[in-house]
Amino acid sequence: MLSTHARPAASIFMNMTLRARLTVGILAIAVVLVMPMVSALHALGALTPASLDRYAIAEIIGAFLLAAAIAVWLTRSVSRPMRDLEAGMRAVAGGEFGHRLAVAPQRRDEFGRLAASFATMADRLAELDKLKAEFVSIASHELKTPINVMLGYLQLLQEGVYGPLSDRQLEVCRTLQQQCQAVGRLSKQLLDVSRFEAGGGQLDLHRFALGPFLDELEESVQVLAVQRGVHFTVLRDERLPVEVRWDRDGINEVLGNILSNAFRFTPSGGRVELAAHADEVEVRLYVRDTGSGILPEQLGHVFDKFYQARNQTGTVGTVGKGMGLGLAIAKSIVEAHRGTISVDSTPGEGTVFSIRLPPVVPPL
């Protein structure tokens, strides 16, 4: 049983970091070793106030310095592998299954065994992730044929090939057609995501004029802006390249997904802006809105498959629409272009998506 005075000291010690515990422990050992020496010297009269031996003081100071050096060495030898392991676990949690620790698995100590176990765990997770992507890809591909068959027969029914249908039956056929098309879109999106994750996503790279591309995008999106009652503008930097070498349809899909979300979560009277800037190295595309924004704890997940921010409220008729795959596909397409995509948001003020792309993507 600890005394009343000992309990606070023990509590403080247990709340210290590992490095602090090792340092305190080594210094305590130094004190325990040095104090008998001091007592012995004092008993022999070597440490009287009148005749204080400078060599005895040097020996005491040397003991403390040696203890401090040992403490620093021990803390570094322990804390570095621990920090490396912590960083590795964060990387794996974020989906970086190829991450490797700086600690060699061949080390013949606890850290070596931990590094070996970490490598095995990461390899197995990577294997499972690849199998999952392959399964989704195969399942999505196999769904295409039955969906197309159902859509074909529904179209024939509506055209009266198998006999006339009543108005009620035609309405049911249209509903079934909409649902089949929704499943078809989901199947296509899953197939696109899984292909890019497996490294099989193909880009149709070719040169095209950037100005007309932005003109067409602005014209097609302007209709959506009018429907939502949102003010939409496109800003262009004078330094934009005349031509770029991208997958035109892919980048159009990326910007379409992001702009669609921006209009969806921006109330009537708000603003959505597409800004294009460039320098000698890259083209930067920004999509800004004055919508509901995204909570900080959700920002790190917006590019995950099937993830939808829970605090966002769409306009009438859009709540709950979508499967949370649009941004995952956008990220895959941008990264396939050797570019980056990021997001910054302030709840209640709006969101900014930033895309950085090389003006000329080299052959893959």
Dihedral sign for Cα atoms in the order 298, 304, 306, 312: positive
pLDDT score, position 73: 66
Tens-digit pLDDT profile for residues 248-281: 988 998 999 899 889 989 999 999 999 999 988 9
pLDDT band at 50; cut points 50, 70, 90: very low
Helices (H), 210-324: 210-228, 248-264, 296-299
**Which of 61-70, 208-217, 222-231 shows the lowest mean pLDDT across its residues?**
61-70
Question: What are 120-132's pLDDT values in tens digits?
Answer: 888 888 888 777 7
Helix, strand, or coil here: 132? helix
Tokens in use for 45?
A: 């009269």
Summarize pLDDT for 279-332 with one digit per residue, the tens. Answer: 889 999 999 999 989 988 888 888 887 777 765 554 433 434 556 778 888 998
pLDDT at residue number 67: 65
User: In this structure, what is the dihedral angle of CA atoms 321, 187, 137, 198, given to the nearest 10 degrees?
Assistant: -50
Q: Report the Cα–Cα distance between both ends of the chain, in Å, rounded.
A: 69
The pLDDT, as a whole number, for residue 89 is 84
Residue at 354: amino acid letter: S
**pLDDT tier at 71, thresholds 50, 70, 90:** low
Hey, what are 232's tokens? 């939409």
What is the percent of the chain with per-residue pLDDT over 90, rounded to a whole number? 27
In the prediction, which pLDDT does 315 show? 44
Domain 205-357 has CATH 3.30.565.10: yes
Round to whole Å and give the CA distance between 184 and 146.
Answer: 10
The pLDDT score that the predictor gives to residue 287 is 96
Alpha-carbon distance of 56 to 40, in angstroms, equals: 11
Distance CA 185, CA 347 (A): 30
Mean of pLDDT values over 164-176:
90
Please answer whether residues 274 and 287 qualify as being in contact, where contact means their C-beta atoms are separated by less than 8 angstroms. Answer: yes
> For residues 324 and 319, what is the distance between their CA atoms, to the nearest angstrom?
12
Confidence of residue 44 (pLDDT cuts 50, 70, 90): low
Burial of residue 256 (CB within 10 Å: 0-12, 13-18, 19+) is middle
Residue 274: strand, helix, or coil: strand
Task: Give the pLDDT score at 357.
Answer: 96
| Residue 105 pLDDT class (50, 70, 90 cuts) | confident
